[in-house]
């Protein structure tokens, strides 16, 4: 299965789906049209998909928001959004966020394959994924502040969870760029590999994720994703309940 629209493509091959930003001439800068297409991909995803890989064509993952579109006067532009009533503007942004948040879906593990620039919306797209494999030349920045804006594509909570409040504040409030080595030290990278090895590293990681029982992996993701919001006792209870479901399922006594 292949679905393609302006600037972004979905390829499904058995249990692996690949979302590719395909505007290499502008370093895969993103537009509201691409975000709507990515939201549609969430509805088109076959039920047997277990891993979603997000990548960019060419030498960059994504240079962020396409300012030639955002700075114009059409739908999704800064000018158009600023004229909307407050709630309508917030609702429009919620639609944009949906292009990113479906990658949190419980039944799949999402992997960002990041080379070159991952700036602003590009950084937030990488953060939307569960795991991030970075090429050695990756450069990450939460650059919205340089435009007088805030990160609004569901990236702030993920960033705080990964690096802590103080470091997240420093990253967002300065808009500075991080190289792959720093991203690795801060816990933003699952792996950092030489550029030539990025695709192979993602394939190896994907194979490892697919090697084990799907339902067990889904339960593990849910346990870990909810761990920070639970007390120790609540987490232990969640572990017990998840293990009980697995034992019953393996014994053929599941629902």
| pLDDT tens profile 224-244 | 999 999 999 999 999 999 999
Contacts of 64 (CB under 8 A, 6+ apart): 29, 30, 117, 119, 120, 121, 122, 123, 143
**Which tokens is 131 given?**
């795991």
Has residue 255 got a pLDDT over 80?
A: no
CATH entry 3.40.50.720 includes domain 2-210: no
Q: What is the pLDDT of residues 169-202, one digit of tens each?
A: 999 999 999 999 999 999 999 999 999 999 999 9
What pLDDT, on a 0 to 100 scale, did the predictor assign at position 253?
A: 82
Closest by CA to 45, choosing from 80, 14, 85, is 14
Rounded to whole angstroms, the Cα distance separating 35 from 130 reads 19
Give the start-to-end residue ranges of the domains of the chain. 2-210, 214-250
Provide the 3-class DSSP secondary structure of residue 195: helix
Average pLDDT taken over every residue of the chain:
94
Rounded to an integer, the average pLDDT of 101-107 is 96
Residue 1 has pLDDT above 60, yes or no: no
40: CB partners within 8 A, 6+ apart: 3, 5
At which residue do the structure tokens 């000018």 appear?
A: 79
Q: What is the arithmetic mean of pLDDT over 133-160?
A: 97
């Amino acid at each position: 299965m292949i679905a393609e629209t302006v600037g972004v493509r979905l390829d499904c091959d058995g249990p692996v789906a690949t979302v590719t930003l395909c505007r290499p001439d502008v370093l895969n800068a993103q537009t509201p049209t691409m975000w709507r297409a990515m939201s549609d991909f969430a509805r088109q995803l076959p039920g047997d998909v277990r891993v979603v890989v997000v990548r960019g064509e060419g030498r960059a993952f994504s240079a962020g928001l396409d300012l030639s579109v955002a700075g114009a006067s059409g739908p999704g532009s800064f000018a158009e959004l600023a004229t909307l009533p407050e709630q309508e503007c917030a609702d429009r942004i919620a639609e944009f966020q949906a292009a990113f948040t479906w990658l949190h879906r419980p039944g799949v593990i999402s992997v960002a394959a990041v080379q070159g620039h991952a700036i602003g919306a590009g950084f937030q797209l990488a953060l939307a994924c569960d795991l991030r494999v970075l090429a050695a030349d990756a450069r990450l920045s939460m650059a919205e502040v340089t435009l007088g804006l805030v990160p609004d594509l569901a990236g702030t909570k993920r960033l705080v969870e990964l690096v802590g409040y103080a470091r997240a504040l420093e990253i967002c409030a300065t808009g500075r760029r991080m190289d792959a080595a720093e991203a690795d030290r801060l816990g933003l990278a699952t792996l950092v590999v030489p550029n030539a090895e990025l695709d192979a590293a993602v394939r190896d990681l994907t194979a490892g994720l697919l090697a084990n029982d799907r339902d067990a992996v889904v339960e593990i993701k849910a346990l870990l994703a909810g761990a920070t919001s639970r007390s120790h006792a609540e987490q232990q209870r969640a572990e017990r309940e998840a293990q009980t479901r697995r034992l019953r399922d393996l014994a053929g006594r599941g629902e």
